[in-house]
Amino acid sequence: MEAVVIMKSRFYSVLYMFLLTFIFTAVVTVAKIANQDRILNNQHAKLQRVIFKVLHVPLRADMQADELQELFKERIRVSEVEGRTVYTAFAPIGETVIGHATSLNGPGFWGPIYAMVGVDAGGTRITGIEFYKQQETPGLGARISEQWFTDQFVGLSLDRAQEDKAFFSFTYPGRGKVSGELDAVTGATFTSKAVEKFLNRELVFLRKLADNNDGTMKNAE
């Protein structure tokens, strides 16, 4: 009899835990579904701000999501080139192209690193770069997202005397530098080398995009 009571007690405990887990899971799922559009809109708005920043399109600090979306439609054309999404920025008035941007990525120390990179209309220099998604070590490799690091790329020439020549390289902070040498992140050699490798490889796409931009890009919208 005692064994039966114990079994029933265990059964009700398991049933209670199952029902409690089910209820909490259902609540979380419903909340996620209810907020899915808001989450997606926030992510989209964040990406748009990054694109505007690397292309030097000025924004008001208090700009709302709907205003941001409207400005994006007015100033940015979205195209697909060689399987990549390219964002082409235009002047406020007319059809003058002021720059191009695209997302470049490569392996980091703990996972992939994603960078939005902007170049001028001629593809001759970098106008801005933002590492908008990365999993590097906080206080070390993750410092690639800090402004002092990304500011180094602004104005960086994309002209190369030879096709196999790197656009830039990292060196230790404090050392005398020549053109194309940037400060690495102290204590994050692997991350710095990873960024140097994949950006030098991927920047070729943006350079050639500007060289060959003959208006044949297909609009992705």
Q: Is residue 63 part of a domain?
A: no
Q: Is residue 135 part of a domain?
A: yes
Report the interhelical angle of 2-54 vs 65-75 (nearest 10°).
50
Instruction: Reply yes or no on whether the pLDDT at 173 is more than 60.
Output: yes
Q: What is the pLDDT of residue 94?
A: 79
Q: Is residue 207 part of a domain?
A: yes
Which of 16-20, 32-36, 82-86 has the lowest average pLDDT?
A: 32-36
C-beta atoms surrounding 150 within 10 Å: 18
Q: What is the pLDDT of residue 95?
A: 84
H or E stretch at 74: helix 65-75
Q: How many folded domains does the chain comprise?
A: 1
Q: Is residue 144 part of a domain?
A: yes
Q: Is residue 89 part of a domain?
A: yes
H or E stretch at 64: none
Q: Is residue 133 part of a domain?
A: yes
Which residue segment(s) compose the domain that 116 sits in? 76-219
The C-alpha R_g of the chain, in whole angstroms, comes to 24
Q: Is residue 138 part of a domain?
A: yes
SS3 89: strand
Q: Tell me the pLDDT band of 132, cut-offs 50, 70 and 90.
A: very high
Q: Is residue 67 part of a domain?
A: no
